[in-house]
Structure formats: structure tokens, C-alpha cells
Amino acid sequence: MKRKTIRNHKDFLTTPDDPSVANFFFVIKMKDAVKKDARYGVIASKRVFKLATQRNRAKRLLRDWVAFNENLMLPTKDYIFIARSGIFSCERDIGRSKMAHLLKKLSK
């Protein structure tokens, strides 16, 4: 099942009560799905990544890791992935395994 992406700004907003996990490379926030279908969103801010090419690369990495670990995501939840500055120091396989670890931790 291919997940849809979050498009609206209001759907990216989370509350402090929403569960989240983090590591050196990214942050994952989980909240109840607004609609019946679960979605995900990717954030790379200008504050962290000054250049548009850096923001695009960070989002591309996160999307790749999400696609690889999509089966670990709960079908009734929306996920927000926030890139951190250390994301470029992570190799593809390591990033995928780190995301799998955090998704398992978050779903407990």
C-alpha cells in the first residue's frame, strides 16, 4: 500500500501530547490520522538547511527511508518526519535501519 503525503500546513501541526522519538538524523512525530487513510509528511527547515539543494536532498533521503520502512507504520496514524543537520553524515542502509528501529519503538 502506497501512503499519501500530507499537503496542508494544518495537518503538520502536532500537540505536545503526541508521541515522538528522535535520533541524531531525524525526528518522528505520530498523531491520529485525520481521515481514514494514513499519511506522512517530510520537513526540512530553512533554519537547519540554508540552501534549497540541502533541503531537497534531506527530504529525498527521508522519503527513501520511509518508502523502505512503510510496512512498519501503523495504518491509523499520520507520521511527520523532521530532518536534522546530521542526516548527511548517514549512509543509506544505516538510515533505513535507524528509521526502522525508531518506528518499532514508536509503535509500542
Residues 83, 59: contact at Cβ < 8 Å? yes
- Give the DSSP letter of residue 3: P
Please provide the distance, in angstroms rounded to a whole number, between the alpha carbons at the two ends of the chain.
22
pLDDT at 1: 53
Concatenate the DSSP letters of all residues of 21-88 into one string: EE-SSEEEEEEE-SSSS-EEEEE--TTT--SHHHHHHHHHHHHHHHHHTGGGS-TTEEEEEEE-GGGG
Three cell numbers, residue 73 = 507504520
Neighbour tally for 74: CB within 10 Å: 14
Mean pLDDT over the full length of the chain:
92
Q: Regarding beta strands 39-43 and 77-83, do their DSSP bridges make them parallel or antiparallel, or are they unpaired?
A: parallel
pLDDT at 97: 97
Dist CA 61 CA 79 (whole Å) = 16
Residue-range definition of the domain harbouring residue 31: 4-107
Tens-digit pLDDT profile for residues 68-89: 999 999 988 999 999 999 999 9
Examine the pLDDT at 27 and tell me if it is beyond 80.
yes
Q: Please report, for the domain that includes residue 36, its CATH number.
A: 3.30.230.10
Total domain count for the chain?
A: 1
